[in-house]
Amino acid sequence: MQLNDATFARFSAWMREQSGMHMPESKKTLLQQRLLNRLTARQVSTYEAYLRVLQDPDEVQEQAIAVDLLTTHETFFFRERKHFDWMQHEVAAWPKNRALKVWSAASSTGEEIWSIAMVLAHQLGEQADWHVLGSDISLRVIAQANAAHYSLTRADGIPSTLMRKYCLKGVGKQDGSLLIAPVLRNKVGFRQINLAAPLPEIGLFDFIFLRNVLIYFDGDGKQDILNRVLKKLKNNAYLLVSHSESLYGLNDSLKLIQPGIYQYKSLAGV
């Protein structure tokens, strides 16, 4: 069962409308593979017929399934470790009477947000005034992140000290798995957010992780998302993207601190 170029272009346009994400021609095979089972589930024989299903305004659930399949990406604990080492150093002198808020804007299955929480709990204390928000467009990965339950095979990146303090190893039927400790789960919240749409009222943050997100959007989409996200940063706060990403020329209020880390200097000074 093949997906022709014209139909792929229509799928790409549909995805842009739904999520803002740009799907170049190089993603054609990925789209075919990830959606193939949905053709069977919906009892349609071609990708063209499945696209017609997605274009039906009444097919809200199927639309959500397709977006989920096409936007979910692999992640792991303490990915790009230097970012977490930098953050630990940065918050070491954080005033005890000042709340600290972090947003993981595309938290996927949760490894990033739990890595952040481990760093903050270890450095600031478990009872300090800090909170982390995780968001994603996919309700499925939000549910997985919120469950905070992972295979031990995914835990290689967790430093041993933090592993002992904040991860509960499964026994019996749960052998080979880990559960994030309740003391961290009490400091973290999740919600569904589409970064390509107007953002909800979530307050302002001291750190925003937007890593490996903008690479999936073209020029205008990238600029729009960046502008929306920056409105959620406090003045002098920090935006983190992947080490391999550059925001050069996208916003004059961002100052590069080190690879992937920018400080936001509001042009309004507030």
| Binding-site positions for S-adenosyl-L-methionine | 75, 79, 112, 136, 194-195, 211-212
User: For the chain, what is the total number of helices (H) and then of strands (E)?
Assistant: 10, 10
H or E element at residue 51 = helix 47-54
Backbone angles phi, psi at 41, to 5 degrees: -60, -35
Binding residues: 75, 79, 112, 136, 194-195, 211-212
List Cα–Cα distances, 1 to 4, 25, 43, 165, in angstroms.
Answer: 10, 18, 14, 50
Q: How far apart are CA 197 and CA 225, in angstroms?
A: 8
Q: For residue 103, how many C-alpha atoms fall within 13 Å in the half-sphere facing its CB?
A: 26
Q: Which two tokens stand for residue 6?
A: 């014209």
The dihedral formed by the CA atoms of 134, 206, 185 and 118, expressed in degrees to the nearest 10: 110
Backbone angles phi, psi at 19, to 5 degrees: -125, -10
C-alpha of 160 from chain center: 25
H or E element at residue 238 = strand 233-240
